[in-house]
Amino acid sequence: AAKQMGRDRFAFYHPEMNAKHLEILTLESSMRDALNRTEFFVEYQPKIDIHKNKIVGAEALVRWRHPKEGVLLPGRFIPIAEETGLISSIGLWVLQDVCQTVKRWQDSGMPEMNVAINISGVELVRPNSVQRIMDVIEKTQVDPSWLEFEITETTLIKDGDIVKLAIQHFKRHGITIALDDFGTGYSSLGVLTQYDIDTLKIDHAFTSGILAKDAKYESVIVAMITLAHSMDMKVVAEGVETKYQQAFLTDQGCDVMQGFLFSPAVAADVLETLIRNGR
Ligand code: C2E
Ligand code: MG
Ligand code: MG
Ligand code: MG
């Protein structure tokens, strides 16, 4: 009887559920077209070394110039792309675009920097994904030592073994690895000892805790920085928005910062100009 009731429940019309479902279906089908029409584009958010007071890298972030809805941020479409598997094609497109840009920078004599690309766990666990990623790098002839792959803590917890092998492969080719959104995935700290990670990215949620001058957040951040440094990892703080946060993080020895206080994500040529002008 309960089963029968459960089945009947779905027969009712749920306007909210349908609207959400419709939006997902619509976005999904237009996302397929978007790849062919090159509606995606990549912006770069500068990463600043506070001690040297200069840009030492950038994070590549995908955007979608939607024909009807304007520019969409990844939060609107990446989760759907992950659910439908389209993330693999989008991820490879982003990678290729970034590699072409970085190759151009390398050929034009730009000073070396570290360009980070977000790699979705869904993308990484698909068969041959590592080979497909390496193919793009080879074809574009980019020097991979400028590249950093960002993998989220959640991905590590979910697909540890596959990710471990992938990381080893990338690192053999000189690509560095950052652990993204650190502190949000509820992993035990011990997980850090099992992977060859170069950079720890402190999640925005912790950085905004400093904004509130919340002593609890501040001590967690101090612990994260100490831990990372003791394991020879660099620390990047995300979402730095205020001078107070910057000063606090600097005092605690945070290496690199990223956030609206310095710059939002900008077009590749804008980043190039910022760097050439010594900003
Ligand atoms: P993420 O990797 O943690 O990227 C940082 C996000 O924080 C970016 O949002 C960035 O614009 C935003 N941000 C930077 N500074 C500040 C700040 O000072 N304050 C606040 N409130 N936010 C700041 P965005 O571009 O909307 O990207 C969101 C997420 O989408 C990324 O989080 C990443 O997980 C994912 N993503 C972006 N591009 C790609 C991609 O090419 N592939 C994959 N798989 N995921 C991507
Ligand atoms: Mg990231
Ligand atoms: Mg390097
Ligand atoms: Mg992050």
Smallest Cα–Cα separation from 262: which of 56, 41, 94? 56
pLDDT of 5 higher than 50: no
45 lines ligand 1 (CB under 6 A): yes
pLDDT tens by residue, 112-166? 999 999 999 999 999 999 999 999 999 999 999 999 999 998 888 888 889 999 9
Q: pTM of the entire structure? A: 0.92
pLDDT of residue 12: 55
Do residues 234 and 212 touch, judged by C-beta distance below 8 A?
no
* Number of neighbours of residue 167 by Cβ within 10 angstroms: 21
Which residue's CA lies nearest to atom 17 of ligand 1? 239
Q: Is residue 49 packed enough to be buried (19+ CB in 10 Å), middle (13-18) or exposed (0-12)?
A: middle
71 lines ligand 1 (CB under 6 A): no
Which residue's CA lies nearest to atom 22 of ligand 1? 239
Calculate how far, in angstroms, residue 41's C-alpha sits from the geometric centre of ligand 4. Answer: 19
Q: If residue 263 lies in a helix (H) or strand (E), which one and from where to where?
A: none
Secondary structure letter of residue 237 according to DSSP: E
pLDDT of 78 higher than 90: yes
pLDDT tens by residue, 164-206? 999 999 999 999 999 998 888 777 777 888 899 999 999 998 8
| Contacts with 252 (C-beta within 8 Å, 6 or more apart), sequence order | 221, 222, 225
Which residue's CA lies nearest to atom 42 of ligand 1? 118
Q: Is residue 207 packed enough to be buried (19+ CB in 10 Å), middle (13-18) or exposed (0-12)?
A: buried
pLDDT of 14 higher than 70: no
Calculate how far, in angstroms, residue 147's C-alpha sits from the geometric centre of ligand 2. Answer: 13
Q: Which of the four pLDDT bands, split at 50, 70 and 90, describes residue 226?
A: very high
